[in-house]
A and B are shown apart, each in its own frame.
Chain A
């Protein structure tokens, strides 16, 4: 695959915004892969945690926004816990989710959530799910 690196993308407003709201410095990551190794859902992610960091370092935020990674992250903090550089991919992925949700765009429509889940699940699952998926 051939990719074109552009200064405007690497230093784009959306990358700056993401670093500001997540509190993470993307350049700190040195691509050891510990986060992807420890992540319980990297097998399910279209772009694994360490790759998310690399894409973003190279300014490829659009690609990351299109991938399912941010929506399948369970927020378990294993990535952060095991990162030798103290990076939190969890915070970066939450920053990406927040970028979408703060625009008022829902990932899950409340009306589509199965009634059976709303009736039977523990309240904390519902509240947490709303926080992660609903604007």
Chain B
């Protein structure tokens, strides 16, 4: 077995230039496989991370109707979720571990001589927990703060850095939001950009009561964030929520709801569907390169069999069986394609990080994709090397010996 391998390696080395050119198709194809798969996994990992950063077992209720797959949550429609709705949800829906309403606005925020335009969220005390916000410093505001519409707020890292300087702890400081002074009680740990590319850390969170009373004057909510106690309960919670809100909004049987609901998983599916198109395109490219590469190998092996007809004749004459000759040429073809595959894997592993660095695509090279690429290259060697090897094995010893 070892000697078969040695002979094959020697045959490849003998025509190193030709072998390299033959491998080129495989190298291109396999590196495309590696890069393509790494882009797919990278994007998916990124989306998964962001979805996870939203919180766990999350259901979002948006005001405004929207057919499935239509506008996301009826942005721009007038908020129609009431305080009563919120309290009813808190009170009546079982299997819920946290509920927060959401009012949004943006305002000029001033701290000392720094100022910035910041989006603020008016939320309940559950919100930080629901959305998996951690605290770098300080802590969440309390239920009492919510009841009292206290002038307290939580600040995101980007906003804090902007107003108080990079790395400074803003807890205990005062910021003026629309001229109203708010005390910062907590600095949120950073989350990075979300799946739509905006910075989640450029934010101020404050009790919804404070936001409604002191900043926006809103009386209705744009959305509710609801956390189910477990993934298994998601569906039940969704059903109960729908029933409750339809009842409260007096929606007749069969009519469309004036609110919409999305689970976290649905956001993930949406984001991943765009990645899939990319993956399909790259896979098609990789597939074509691999077939072309395989045909290249077949061609070179046929040339090699013809060139080495006398050698084959000698081997047969001294007692090689057909399958010995077959194994020799098959080994050579597989070695050729596997070497191409390894070079392709190396090229791909080198290209993928460059792609991230210069084009900003998230990439992730998984062990699985390397194993896949390696197996595919070996398979190509077997498939495209088979016919030439069979041709060699079936040569007549006398004809082969006499071949000029």
Do A and B assemble together?
no
Residues on A facing B (Cβ under 8 Å): none
Residue positions of B touching A, CB distance < 8 A: none
